[in-house]
Structure 1
Amino acid sequence: MNTSRIRVLQITDPHLFADPTSTLMGINTSETLDEVLAKIMNDYQEIACLLVTGDLTQDDSETSYRHLEAKLSKLDAPQYWLCGNHDQPDLMEAINPSAMQKRVTLESWQILMLNTQVEGEVFGYLSQTELDLLDTYLKQAPEKHTLLAIHHHPAPINSQWMDNIMLKNPEDLAQVISQHTNVKGMIHGHVHQAKKYDFCNIPVMATPSTCVQFAPGSDDFQADTKQPGFRVLDLLPDGQIETRVVRVGEEPMKVDLKSSGY
């Protein structure tokens, strides 16, 4: 790997259970995460960090977070966790405080981890505290290229049921971003599919779940048969981002397509 590149990996929405034999829409989420991590360990040896962008567990249990911590500890890279709508931030902080960083500095880059969780709700919202923190970090390091990591998508993705539970105040996020020139990209989870689009004139990248995928362009809830995956991001010294999604296989996954939700 070119040493001028900073390689960051993103996994998202593992939805682990306390019972590792439990399934989500017929999929064992513990096993699919193991498949993703095995591919990462086999194919990617030089990793600056691993970003886990929300919905770490499905049952909000301490045991499920400990399962995740144990699995990720096998990687030779620091890990950073972000809350999703399914998560318990107090448990996350208690179990793995070193993973709960708001700002990660990597040479000429910084990664800012913004919490979009609204307690008790599925949709997302950026509090004034988070927006102020974003503004502060961008002001403090105007020379650093910045990657934003959130859980909820900031703009519609042409999927009505998902767009009903997206970030509810994207205009507030756009207002902060527009006051700075160092935000170079944004990543998120939540939508369980790969997608690239623009928001506030910056590239946004949605990443597949490590378990079940959602069908793109669906008005109502619909699972997909694509395989689990993760995102590779190469952060370049000039502020460019080279990225791709890697899946654990190409064959259709055996998922319960009759499921009406998760």
Structure 2
Amino acid sequence: MTNSDPKRPLRVLQLTDPHLTAQSDGVLLGVNTRDSLAAVIDEALKVHGQPDLVLATGDISQDASAEAYRYFGEQLQAFQCPSLWIAGNHDDTPLMTAIAAEFQADPRQWIQGGWHFVMLDSSVHGKVFGELSAEELTRLDNALFEQIELPTVVCLHHHPVDIGSDWMEKIGLKTREGFWRIIDKHPQVKVVLWGHIHQELQQQRNGVDLLATPSTCIQFTAGSSDFSVEPRAPGYRWIELDPSGSVVTEVRRASQFEFKLDESSTGY
């Protein structure tokens, strides 16, 4: 699949951690997650217009309900482009994958606009932390060997680096060495993109952009030792990918969205 206009960069929208529920009035720490998602989608359309591709990087549902996944797919109809979904620790991976398939959002590899996208499953059933199985690591390695000429974005849910937050360090990606061993031998990888941490992060490692993105609902306090949330607006990441391999990205927040966050909570 190719970009409609090869002269301009591929425009990619990342939405992550919506934590939707089956009920329309479902809330997470006081925030109605359907309303916050709607505010983020409206902001993206208002500020950036239509993307060419949407990447949904996990925790789509808080209650792992079919209703939540279908609602998410229906909301993405606001975008006239494909979407790719991966599971997070709150998701029911088989169920999410089945419903993603209804929306043609289940491919694990994707080529568009001169870029290659690899979608990884770092979820572990019944656990908050993430792992990449030996099978998943082999799939990643093979996918990168298959498309060695194309600049590549690798997506997963769990953070594969230390983000300076003690409580989140325990629930990140456990199988980091094997992951980075593969990434390091494939110089066409330009971006590693994830969710899970409910905050903005942008670093570089060996020339690879490491990007994490605010949740479309609640935000975790950056650098906190213990669980902590802060009343920042929900957001998204916009990425423009040039076929040459260059990357331009920014995070935007739906600052007009009004909510009353339960800041006293000790978990979610």
Q: What's the TM-score, normalizing by structure 1?
A: 0.96
Greater mean alpha carbon deviation, residues 183-192 or residues 92-101: 92-101
Sequence identity (%): 38
1:243 aligns with 2:249: yes
Displacement of 1:9 after TM fit? Answer: 0.5
1:146 aligns with 2:167: no
> Structure 1: which amino acid aligns with 2:251?
V
Q: How does 1:60-99 map to 2 (within 5 A)?
A: 60-97=64-101, 98-99=104-105
1:222 aligns with 2:228: yes
Greater mean alpha carbon deviation, residues 24-33 or residues 86-95: 86-95
Displacement of 1:4 after TM fit? Answer: 2.4
1:209 to 215, 233, 238: 215
Q: Secondary structure at the match of 1:91?
A: helix
Q: What is the CA deviation profile of residues 215-253 of structure 1, one whole-angstrom value per residue up to 9, with x for unaligned ones?
A: 000000001111000000000122111000010117885
Q: Secondary structure at the match of 1:7?
A: strand
Displacement of 1:72 after TM fit? Answer: 1.2
Aligned residues: 262
Residue 123 of structure 1 is matched in structure 2 by 129
Residue 25 of structure 1 is matched in structure 2 by 29
> Structure 1: which amino acid aligns with 2:194?
H
1:184 aligns with 2:190: yes
Residue 59 of structure 1 is matched in structure 2 by 63
Residue 50 of structure 1 is matched in structure 2 by 54
For 1:46 and 1:30, how far apart are their aligned partners in 2?
20
Structure 1 stretches lacking a partner, 5+ long:
none
CA pair 162-231 structure 1, distance change in 2 beyond 3 A = same
Residue 135 of structure 1 is matched in structure 2 by 141
> Structure 2: which amino acid aligns with 1:186?
V
For 2:166 and 2:259, how far apart are their aligned partners in 1?
24
Displacement of 1:202 after TM fit? Answer: 1.4
1:166 aligns with 2:189: no
For 1:171 and 1:252, how far apart are their aligned partners in 2?
41
Greater mean alpha carbon deviation, residues 43-52 or residues 226-235: 43-52
> Structure 2: which amino acid aligns with 1:180?
H
Residue 37 of structure 1 is matched in structure 2 by 41
For 2:259 and 2:224, how far apart are their aligned partners in 1?
18
Residue 18 of structure 2 is matched in structure 1 by 14
For 1:250 and 1:162, how far apart are their aligned partners in 2?
28
